[in-house]
Homo-oligomer: A and B are copies of this chain.
Amino acid sequence: MLDAIRRTEQLSRVELAAATGLSGQAISNIIRRLLEAGLVREAGRQKTTGLGKPRTLLRLEPTGQYAVGVHLDPAVVTVVLLDLTGEVVARHQLVPPEDDDPDVLIDAIAATVEAVIAEAAAPRSRVMGVGIAAPGPIDAERGVVVDPPNLSTWHLVPLRDELRERTGLPVLLEKDVTAAAAAEKWVGAPGNFVFFYLGTGVGAGLVIGDEIIRGTSSNAGEIGHVIVDPEGPVCHCGRRGCVGDTSRPRYLVHQAVHAGVLAQSIDLDDRQAVDAAFGRLCALAAEGPGVAREIITALAERIAKAVEDVANLLDLDRVVFGGPYWEPLGPLFCDRVRAALDGRFTVRAIHPLEVTGTALGADAGAIGAGSLVLDHTFSPERELVAER
């Protein structure tokens, strides 16, 4: 019911009855309870054609409930507060110290959760819970982050329970790419798509038939070792040209330094320096033809090969790019991926494969994690993990 109202923004009881197949009486009873709970409100009347009396329109009451979304990326932690409509009403970021104790970082995350709730002046009783998106693999059943890249001291950290203890709120742990795909599903058109996540690693969030694909242990989306460049560098897995290894900003910056496009003095072991250099490389590539553009075009061609494999396996109709390193790459990148995919999508005679960037920017992971908590309001049959 709530989801039907959410998706159309506003709706009358008559339209709800048509959309849900419930009787007018049943609709009226449910709506009365939703009004009492403060989750929907009446929003004016709709003129009808003909003789019927005007219909009262219903909208979600944004302040009816809230959810916190956290995205734990090794480079930056993003914390958002979403209202019931999924709008971001407060947002904070914090940079995790690279070799710090998990306890210290979880303390900082808990404090930031409190900060976004306070900033929006959201009544605590209306905050349903916290969704946290973390790099995989995760042990979803135990709420444990197994071994995230670039957080060297994190091994088997019981993130879900630790955060629940500190905040007193139910907590739901999800893989970062899955959360990002959930965000895209929440705001985007229906369809079968991969959210291609460009972060410290690459990953694939999957939505098929309007369902998020999580796999056996909620760890779907691992694509780092797809071979995309047979003549590429040797990956730690022993093979050449894995997409994860050759998509890292560190690798691209190294290529640019080697080609003389960026200064020799960049310290490749300093993540922030590498991130800044990667931004400069993308800016140079956007300026016009040259070595910088060739490096980014070659990246687009490698990524396109991984997209091709996933899209052909799952007969997708869309690829959506996002993640922390997506924004600097910009619209140039989509064009290059499209060009590289040309003629390679097996069922192109039957339907096209759309290539696009997320409209959610770098916050997709955090928004997705929060939206999964809100999903619990809209589809109560799905339990919040913390309540198991």
A: which residues have CB within 8 A of B?
136-137, 139, 146, 191-192, 204, 206, 208, 213-223, 225-228, 230-231, 237, 239-241, 305, 308-310, 312-317, 344, 346-347, 349-351
Whole-angstrom distance between the Cβ of A341 and the nearest chain B Cβ = 12
- Once the chains bind, are B346 and A219 in contact (CB under 8 Å)? yes
- Once the chains bind, are B146 and A308 in contact (CB under 8 Å)? no
Q: A214-B315, A310-B313, A313-B313 are in contact. List 17 more A-B contacts (CB 8 A).
A: A137-B346, A191-B216, A216-B317, A217-B350, A219-B350, A220-B314, A222-B312, A222-B313, A222-B346, A225-B308, A225-B309, A226-B226, A226-B309, A227-B227, A227-B228, A227-B230, A230-B241
Q: Give A227's nearest chain B residue, CB to CB.
A: B227
Bound together, the chains give a CA A136 to CA B347 distance in angstroms of 9
Whole-angstrom distance between the Cβ of A103 and the nearest chain B Cβ = 23
Partner of A216, one of B215, B220, B316: B316
Bound together, the chains give a CA A309 to CA B314 distance in angstroms of 13
Partner of A240, one of B216, B217, B230, B351: B230
A sample of 17 inter-chain contacts (CB < 8 A) reads A192-B216, A206-B313, A206-B314, A215-B316, A219-B315, A220-B313, A220-B315, A225-B308, A225-B309, A227-B227, A227-B228, A227-B305, A230-B230, A230-B231, A237-B344, A309-B309, A310-B313
Partner of A139, one of B146, B215, B316, B350: B350
Whole-angstrom distance between the Cβ of A216 and the nearest chain B Cβ = 4
Q: Give A232's nearest chain B residue, CB to CB.
A: B230
- Once the chains bind, are A223 and B350 in contact (CB under 8 Å)? no
- Once the chains bind, are B223 and A309 in contact (CB under 8 Å)? yes
Partner of A219, one of B239, B305, B347: B347
By a CB distance below 8 angstroms, the chain B residues around A312 are 222-223, 225
Q: Give A310's nearest chain B residue, CB to CB.
A: B313
Bound together, the chains give a CA A271 to CA B220 distance in angstroms of 39
- Once the chains bind, are B223 and A314 in contact (CB under 8 Å)? no
By a CB distance below 8 angstroms, the chain B residues around A346 are 136-137, 219, 222
Whole-angstrom distance between the Cβ of A200 and the nearest chain B Cβ = 15
Which of the listed residues A137, A146, A216, A308 has the most CB atoms from chain B within 10 Å of its own CB?
Answer: A216
Given contacts A230-B240, A309-B309, contact A146 B315 (CB under 8 A): no
- Once the chains bind, are A351 and B216 in contact (CB under 8 Å)? yes
Whole-angstrom distance between the Cβ of A299 and the nearest chain B Cβ = 17
Bound together, the chains give a CA A314 to CA B239 distance in angstroms of 21
Partner of A350, one of B146, B317, B344: B146
Q: Give A214's nearest chain B residue, CB to CB.
A: B315
- Once the chains bind, are A204 and B308 in contact (CB under 8 Å)? no
Q: Give A220's nearest chain B residue, CB to CB.
A: B315
- Once the chains bind, are A349 and B137 in contact (CB under 8 Å)? yes
Whole-angstrom distance between the Cβ of A320 and the nearest chain B Cβ = 15
By a CB distance below 8 angstroms, the chain B residues around A317 are 216
Whole-angstrom distance between the Cβ of A296 and the nearest chain B Cβ = 21
Whole-angstrom distance between the Cβ of A208 and the nearest chain B Cβ = 6
Given contacts A227-B230, A240-B230, contact A218 B315 (CB under 8 A): yes
Q: Give A142's nearest chain B residue, CB to CB.
A: B350
For the complex of A and B, list the 9 residue pairs with the smallest distance between their C-beta atoms, beginning with the closest: A215-B315, A230-B230, A222-B312, A220-B315, A227-B227, A222-B346, A219-B315, A216-B317, A219-B347
Given contacts A215-B192, A241-B230, contact A313 B347 (CB under 8 A): no
Which of the listed residues A191, A312, A351 has the most CB atoms from chain B within 10 Å of its own CB?
Answer: A312
